[in-house]
Amino acid sequence: MTKKYATLCLALMSFAMARAEVIVSSPDGRISVDFEMKDGKPTYSVLYDGQVAIAPSALGLKTNMGDYTQRLKWDKEKERTGEQHGSYVLPSLKEGQEHNFKMNTAILQFSQRERPVMEVEFRVSNRDVAFNYTLLPQRDTRSCVITEEASAFRVADNALTFMAPQSNPMTGFARTMPSYETKYTLGEPVGKNGWGNGYTFPCLFEVPNADKEKALWILVSETGTDGDYVGCRLLGGNGGEYRIGFPMEGELNGWGCTSVQMALPGKTPWRTITVGHTPANIIETTVTWDLVEAKYPASKDYSKDYGKGMWSWIIGMDSSCNFDEQKRYIDFAAAMGYRSLLVDALWDVQIGRERIAELSRYAQSKGVGLYLWYNSNGSWNDAPQSPKGIMNNPYERRKEMKWMQEIGILGIKVDFFGGDKQPMMQLYEDILTDANDYGIMVIFHGCTLPRGWERMFPNYVASEAILASENLHFSQGFCDAEARDCGTMYPFTRNAVGSMDFGGSALNKYYSASNNRGSRRITSDVYALATAVIFQSPVQHFALAPNNLTDAPAYAIDFMKTVPTKWDEVRFIDGYPGKYIIMARRAGDKWYIAGVNAMDTPVKQTLPLPMLEGKSTVSLYQKDGVKPVKVTKKQTVKVEIPTNGGFVIVK
């Protein structure tokens, strides 16, 4: 679409919406935010190339100081516009090189009974719209409770959804839900409300259009949440309208309220809307991190300890968590040149603290560092695995972390959290903050979505917050749908907004130590290699097993030895959630172009790959091996992705 045409569309649209006015546009002018007051209610909408992405939707907060969703006056003369730009380096991200961002901003002020009560700030980049609220103190009132957030997102009625239903609280294994472990919808129409509780972030919408170039892809999420707010979800059930929901009463076993306690003036987290005609902006967005800042300085350079690792639990389960087997995995990690080994649940009883210290010394002698698993409990669910009662206790936690530092532990994986209420969000923050004092990196499992945490907490590594590899062990049905529900879904959704601890890329044929029984992997070996590129986390604990040194193809083992976990750039090439994905990541001067396919028929494509400029041959991993292939003069490469298979091109 030409710029002129876009402007014309925009003009027509503004005309159609009569009283709404553009308050801020993206630096390239393609995204704009319209605003209007409707009977005292603030309402915004988002346009992309003149097309409506978010139709007029509500803004506002309900608090115990007042209802700031209605009877508001827009103090138009107080509007402040400006620009936010900056740069940062975050090697833990999908775009780890010096990253520059630029956003145009507008701050709107609202008053009630002649007193300013609330501000809404919009920030608009070339890919994203974000907004948050500032609540202002009233006379002697310097704290408040937010009981409800009215923020809504109305998408077109013909939009299709790709989103994970919020589970019922206190359900699932040992009543550990919600833990962001439900299956994404596959293009379901709008209008439902999940299983009755809405959906967890991020939420992806496609607005199809007969003219493909006018299709819209919209990702709604939030960022900047810490112990000062609750984790929110998206409630549906009203056509294309979705709105912010606070946690459910039953979370945390019913303890703690669902509202937010806030000091004034106070800011809410950011609501983010990423939009484009293809999913490219969604896969490449950095809005989650552009909007936040570090909450404390790093106590050391964590990035030098990022890298590959493994864990025995995914193949060997609880019984593998013994001294001899962990030692065997340390030798395996060393043979692979990996940086770490994750020692999973029950190490405190099956190995013991003294021998963990011995194991850690042994690992370090081989250049391998250990991660130790902890149960976050607590009183919020019934998960019995130990060690427990440590990470939820400030004194025990710090004592434990001091011990870990003394014996050279690299990091922790803390599991089985209790939902998104404010005290639970505070626990995440407390664990991270304390761990940084002892130079410990943190991975969360059975947990909430990270919301900008890679930048806010420098020792934060990644979270599960997804149906992850453990389900491949537990269920053949999950294995059968792995390409559809994981490989071709997560890059468009969960992994677009945060480092994801999936723990996959198994090369065993079966999820068992004997490798001849248990659930069977139906994805190919090259699929495993491709997802090592497609799934992003600065620390990857792969589901490899020592027997893979002899029973897996040599090309696959060699690839898994060298695949990076730190990336400098990401690009979407082609794909559709639940069907197939082709994307590229760059590490230094090396490009990895990877794809996987969940459809019944192979994907055959001649890929234009401008990043291969100046290269005549590349290594192509495809079907059962790797071979050098010629790059055509037009910088294209022909690829074929079989059903449940993958490909990787390495330049």
CB of 468: closest distance to Ca ion in angstroms? 6
Q: Shortest Cβ distance from residue 176 to Ca ion (Å)? A: 8
Minimum gap (Å) between residue 314 Cβ and Ca ion: 11
What pairing do the DSSP bridges indicate for beta strands 241-245 and 152-154? antiparallel
- Piece in contact with Ca ion (CB under 5 A), picked from 134-142, 443-451, 489-497, 535-543: 443-451
Q: What is the dihedral of CA 396, 398, 403, 408, to 10 degrees?
A: 140
Cβ at position 416, least distance to Ca ion in Å? 8
Cβ closer to Ca ion: 42 or 378? 378
Q: Which stretch binds Ca ion (CB under 5 A): 296-304, 366-374, 444-452, 535-543?
A: 444-452
The smaller minimum CB distance to Ca ion, of residues 133 and 347, is found at 347
Of residues 587, 492, 506, the one with CA closest to residue 543: 506
- Contact between 178 and Ca ion (CB under 5 A)? no
Closest to Ca ion by CB, 434 vs 464, is 464
Residue (177 or 631) nearer to Ca ion, CB? 177
Q: C-beta of 466: minimal distance to Ca ion in Å?
A: 8
Q: Which one, 169 or 446, has the nearer CB to Ca ion?
A: 446
Inter-CA distances, 361 with 80, 302, 546, 564, Å:
58, 20, 20, 26
Please report how close the Cβ of residue 386 comes to Ca ion at its closest, in angstroms.
17
Comparing CB distances to Ca ion, the nearer of 163 and 467 is 467
Q: 122 pairs with which residues across the strands?
A: 106, 131
Closest to Ca ion by CB, 441 vs 468, is: 468
Q: Which residue sits closest to Ca ion, CB atoms considered?
A: 446
- Name the 3-class secondary structure at 116: strand
> Is 316 or 446 the residue whose CB approaches Ca ion more closely?
446
- Give whichever of 431 and 612 is closer to Ca ion, judged by the CB atom: 431
Cβ distance to Ca ion smaller for residue 302 or 490 = 490
Site string for Ca ion, 6-45 (x = CB under 5 A): ----------------------------------------
Stretch that binds Ca ion, among 117-125, 289-297, 439-447, 610-618 (CB under 5 A): 439-447
Q: What angle do CA 365, 370, 372 make, to 5 degrees?
A: 150
Interacting residues of 290 by C-beta distance below 8 A, sequence separation 6+: 86, 101, 103, 125
Q: How far is the CB of 276 from Ca ion (least distance, A)?
A: 31
Residues 647 and 620 sit within 8 Å (Cβ to Cβ): yes
Closest CA to 194 of 172, 170, 163: 163
Alpha carbon distances (Å) from 627 to 124, 530, 622, 649: 45, 15, 8, 10
Q: Single out the residue of 639, 623, 642 nearest to residue 631, CA to CA.
A: 639
Q: How far is the CB of 522 from Ca ion (least distance, A)?
A: 22
Considering the complex, state which of residue 170 and residue 292 has its C-beta at the smaller distance from Ca ion.
Answer: 170
Which CB atom, from 45 or from 495, has the smaller least distance to Ca ion? 495
Q: Is 540 helix (H, G, I), strand (E, B) or coil?
A: strand
Using the Cα atoms of residue 631, residue 632, residue 633 and residue 636 in order, give the sign of their dihedral. Answer: negative
Match 């669902």 to its residue by tokens: 258
Q: Write the burial class of residue 163 (CB in 10 Å: 0-12 exposed, 13-18 middle, 19+ buried).
A: buried
Region of residue 337 (phi > 0: left; psi between -120 and 50: alpha; otherwise: beta)? left
Distant-in-sequence, close-in-space partners of 262: CB < 8 Å, separation ≥ 6: 135, 143, 144, 145, 146, 228, 229
**Inter-axis angle of helices 323-336 and 353-365, nearest 10:** 20
Nearer to Ca ion, 446 or 646 (CB): 446
ω into 178 cis (within 30 of 0)? yes
Part of the chain binding Ca ion (CB under 5 A), chosen from 130-138, 182-190, 445-453, 562-570: 445-453
Give the span between the Cα atoms of 631 and 179, in whole angstroms: 45
Site stretch for Ca ion (CB under 5 A), options 289-297, 343-351, 440-448, 590-598: 440-448
From 425-433, 441-449, 499-507, 634-642, span contacting Ca ion (CB under 5 A): 441-449
Please say which residue, 479 or 529, places its beta carbon nearer to Ca ion.
479
Q: Is 546 in the site for Ca ion (CB under 5 A)?
A: no
What is the spatial distance between Cα 586 and Cα 50, in angstroms, rounded to a whole number?
33
CA distances from 411 to 93, 164, 292 (A): 18, 29, 24
Q: Least Å distance between CB 349 and Ca ion?
A: 21
Describe the strand order of the beta sheet including 340-343 as a list of residue ranges: 460-463, 441-444, 411-415, 369-375, 340-343, 307-311, 539-542
Q: How far is the CB of 445 from Ca ion (least distance, A)?
A: 5
Residues 575, 591: Cα–Cα separation, whole Å: 18
Count residues binding Ca ion (CB under 5 A). Answer: 1
Q: Which residues contact 293 (CB under 8 A, 6 or more apart)?
A: 455, 456
- Segment contacting Ca ion by CB under 5 A, of 226-234, 339-347, 446-454, 600-608: 446-454
Give least dist CB 493 to Ca ion, A. Answer: 17
> Whole-number minimum distance, CB 226 to Ca ion, in Å?
22
Nearest distance, CB of residue 156 and Ca ion, angstroms: 34
Q: Which is nearer to Ca ion, 228 or 344 (CB)?
A: 344
* CB closer to Ca ion, 309 vs 446: 446
646-650, strands of its sheet edge to edge:
569-576, 580-587, 590-597, 646-650, 617-622, 625-630
Least distance to Ca ion, CB of residue 204, Å? 22
In the complex, what is the shortest distance from the CB of residue 287 to Ca ion, in angstroms, rounded to a whole number? 27
Options 216-224, 442-450, 611-619, 622-630: segment touching Ca ion (CB under 5 A)? 442-450
Count of H-run helices and E-run strands, the chain: 16, 37
Q: Are 334 and 549 in contact (CB under 8 A)?
A: no
Asked whether position 446 contacts Ca ion by CB under 5 A, the answer is: yes
Instruction: Classify 56 as helix, strand or coil.
Output: strand
Binding residues among 562-591 for Ca ion as defined by CB under 5 A? none
CB of 197 to Ca ion, least distance (A): 19
**Pairwise CA distance, residues 146 & 136, whole Å:** 13
> Which residues sit at the interface with Ca ion, rule CB under 5 A?
446
